[in-house]
Amino acid sequence: MTRGLCIVTGASRGIGAATAIAAAKAGWDIAVNYVTDRDAATQVVNEIRECGRKAIAIQADVAQEVNIMRLFKQAEDELGAITALVNNAGTTGKITRVEDMSSEAMKSVLELNVLATMICSREAVRRMSTKRGGAGGVIVNVSSISPRIGGANEFVHYAASKGAVDVWTVGLAREVAADGVRVNAVAPGMINTELHAAAGDPERAHRNAPSIPIGRAAEPEEVASAIVWLLGDEAAYCAGAILEVSGGR
């Protein structure tokens, strides 16, 4: 029996891909959102189908509202009613100090990390809310421990964007909990993904491992497990929670 349809944004690699596969194993059909790497998204879809679940890959840059609207419509048209959303798509931007940061760099981080999360959440609530005729559902936002740390000398703009995600999570959770929609977030610490290379420092996770109390960076699957737990019935009384997966950092 399916739990319904879960949209996972940025699901062709890293935490998103691991989450899409783990959620499928837990019973969801999956809309695998990607921006450019169709081959990687197709591989994730194939792994999901091997689990016996339905899946499609949908190309959409969720930094643009028109693409979000198309993503939700295509997912519904092909896989049915949306019951879960994982707002995973995000970027750190390049490593840079604030005085060297362009307004374009700030804007691109905010558009993907904050506005995309907000608009995707809005579209999910419109479909899930019992007040609007939906059957309820769950949203999990992928945040970060960076708002607590600050991101100095690397990602202050990223940390600020994830601080916004945290506030959005708490506020939206309180707004729609009575309408059958649970909203929570997972806040990863140092994770072994391609994000570090994209930011300009491929060895960042390995280099920073000694500063983590557990002594290592996490693998994407460890974050995915937390996300899928929040998606599931075991977390039925969680609303507005921000669950850190940081190795004690």
Q: Choose, from 158, 169, 227, 245, the residue flagged as catalytic.
A: 158
> 225 exposed, middle or buried (CB, 10 Å; 0-12, 13-18, 19+)?
middle
Q: Please give the structure tokens belonging to residue 144.
A: 């970060």
| Distance (Å) of CA 104 to CA 15, 35, 89, 111 | 26, 19, 18, 10
Strand runs labelled E in 117-241: 137-142, 181-188
* Neighbouring C-beta atoms of residue 38, cutoff 10 Å: 12
Listed residue (9, 6, 1, 26) closest to 83, CA to CA: 6
DSSP notation for 111-124? IIIIIHHHHHHHHH
Q: Is 34 a catalytic residue?
A: no
Active site residues: 158
